């Protein structure tokens, strides 16, 4: 009876449930009426998402401009964020592209070549550096696992060492027994574990979606 006592919650649950069911029925079969309603729902969702993105961008920009103007703590990071945002927007919308015939055109979206160049020059090195730091975190975790001396931890460390040796020493592949063992382990044990993780994630996503459609979970109400 909580739905009847809270009209706001009831209306939001009905809207979310009906929209979700329309999209699910559209995937189930080619029904003209359902397909048109589902497409309208998706268009509305895309429009609302774009408006929310613009509002969030303006909110973040205003917040960081205020931090820079007040010279708050770590205001330099806010200045770097604003400069990077302006650079990406300029590269994605105002930077002209040169056509094969020599003419210039402006990009129509933020996935054109200028933004890709910015990401290749800035984001890719940063991501590589972060992944390189994960090596030290992995080594630290392995040392802590060895110090505990539990069976599970030792098995994990042993498997990780074998995988590292197999990847770092190509000479091991020349040994038939080693190569066949690594191939069998990769094709059966590793693949089975990966499929188990994917199936578990899919089941979890399905349960979460059903709970949202039925109104048990209501993230759209900010509760």
Q: Which of 5-9, 32-36, 194-198 has the lowest mean pLDDT?
A: 5-9
Select the more confidently predicted residue: 15 or 103. Answer: 15
User: Mean of the per-residue pLDDT values for the chain?
Assistant: 79
- Taking residues 181-192, what's their average pLDDT? 78
Give the per-residue SS3 of the chain: CHHHHCHHHHHHHHHHHHHHHHHHHHHHCCCHHHHHHHHHHHHHHHHHHHHHHHHHHHHHHHHHHHHHHHCCCCHHHHHHHHHHHHHHHHHHHCCCEECCCCCEECCCCCCCHHHHHHHHHHHHHHHHHHHHHHHHHHHHHHHHHHHHCCHHHHHHHHHHHHHHHHHHCHHHHHCHHHHHHHHHHHHHHHHHHHHHHHHHHHHHHHHHHHHHHHCCCCHHHCC
The pLDDT value recorded for residue 2 is: 57
* Residues 88-146: tens digit of each pLDDT: 777 777 666 666 665 666 665 555 667 777 777 888 888 888 888 887 887 888 888 77
% residues pLDDT > 70 (the chain): 80
pLDDT of 4 > 70? The answer is no
pTM of the model: 0.58
The pLDDT value recorded for residue 145 is: 78
């Amino acid at each position: 009876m909580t739905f009847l006592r809270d009209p706001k919650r009831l209306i939001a649950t009905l809207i979310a449930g009906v929209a979700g069911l329309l999209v699910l029925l559209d995937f189930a079969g080619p029904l003209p009426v359902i397909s048109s309603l589902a497409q309208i729902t998706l268009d509305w969702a895309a429009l609302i998402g774009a408006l929310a993105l613009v509002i969030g961008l303006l909110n973040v920009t205003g917040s960081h401009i205020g931090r820079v103007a007040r010279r708050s703590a770590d205001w330099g990071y806010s200045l770097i964020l604003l400069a990077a945002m302006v650079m990406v927007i300029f590269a994605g919308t105002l930077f002209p592209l040169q056509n094969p015939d020599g003419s210039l055109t402006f990009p129509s979206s933020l996935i054109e070549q200028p933004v890709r160049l910015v990401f290749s020059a800035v984001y890719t090195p940063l991501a590589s550096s972060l992944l390189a730091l994960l090596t030290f975190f992995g080594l630290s975790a392995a040392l802590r696992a060895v110090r505990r001396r539990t069976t599970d931890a030792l098995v994990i460390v042993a498997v990780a060492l074998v995988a590292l040796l197999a990847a770092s020493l190509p000479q091991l592949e020349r040994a038939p027994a080693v190569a066949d063992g690594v191939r069998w382990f990769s094709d059966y044990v590793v693949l089975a574990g990966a499929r188990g993780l994917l199936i578990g994630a899919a089941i979890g996503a399905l349960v979460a979606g059903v709970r949202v459609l039925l109104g048990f979970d209501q993230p759209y109400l900010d509760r």
